[in-house]
Structure 1
Amino acid sequence: MSGSEQSASKWFEYRVEVFPHHTDYAGVVWHGSYVGWMEEARVLALRSAGLGYEELVASGFELPVVELAVRYHQFAHMGDRIVIKHRVAGLEGVRIPWEYEIGSADGGRRFASARATLVLVDRQTGKIRRRRPPIWEDAIAQLLAPVPEI
């Protein structure tokens, strides 16, 4: 999967409940909470594909966000149950775009949408890795696998 663009993967879901520490004094979700939830969702998706983030780091790599765009559609509040739908949006050379749709668990409200772009970095040199290691290739292949037809 190196170099050429790949199609987007299936959507994954990560569910959270809004607790007081996610909100401001008015009980509205603080904008940065969404970014934390997106990170948690991404790390868990990688783990589900067989690559724990701690394993990636132990292998000498980091996966930093190099670009992030978030659009806030409406407020979420303390006590809301939220679903973060997310997926790898393909591969663009060394760039790994990840898409997010964040809404209410019942599907009735859309709180935010986002796109994060990540790159794989060699921890020792601090440089972007153009050739990805096998542990990464295996995990990303699982995340990009097409959804089986029923």
Structure 2
Amino acid sequence: MNKGSLSYTTELSVRFNEADPLGIVWHGHYVRYFEDGREAFGQAFELSYLHIYKQGYSVPIVKIEADYKKSLKYGDRVIIETEYIPCHAAKLLFQYRLYNAATRELVAKGSTIQVFLDHPGNTLQLTNPPFYEAWKKKYLTSSDG
């Protein structure tokens, strides 16, 4: 874990509709697992999409990367580690690691970048919104964020 970062771990079962006829998880669903991790992180650390929206902002993803290592199959359980990466810019940076819960093998890793848009104008925010600055002061133990 990086200095000053926060992480959250959640676990879920691979669902039937996520597998192809051979029972292997389709690659696009790994991105959904990243989102499942972000949602769980947001609920745990008061940074959910709904909380952000109530503050007058949205946070669309502008970049996503995924690096696939091994396949998951229908019936597997996946451990999702979501790590918030602090930065000075008005962005949300997350890194993800997905593990097969039974074998503890790394199956994928990735990252996302999200930016802040205000409502109703959808204007890109070049500085951190006040609520986000307050959130960073509350949750980050390092001055890196």
Shift of 1:7: 4.7
In structure 2, the CA distance between the partners of 1:42 and 1:74, relative to structure 1 (3 Å rule), is same
8 Å contact kept, 1:46–1:139? no
Give the share of equivalent positions with the same residue, in percent: 22
CA-based RMSD: 2.2
1:41-89 CA distance string (max 9 Å, x none): 2122122112332132133211111000101111100111110111112
8 Å contact kept, 1:73–1:111? yes
Q: Counterparts in 2 of 1:1-150, with a 5 A limit?
A: 7-106=3-102, 108-145=104-141
Return structure 1 stretches of 4+ with deviation > 2 angstroms.
130-146
Shift of 1:141: 4.2
Ranges in structure 2 where 5+ consecutive residues have no aligned partner = none
* In 1, Cα distance between equivalents of 2:94 and 2:42: 12
Question: Which one has more relative contact order, counting CA pairs under 8 Å at least 6 apart?
Answer: 1
Ranges in structure 1 where 5+ consecutive residues have no aligned partner = 1-5
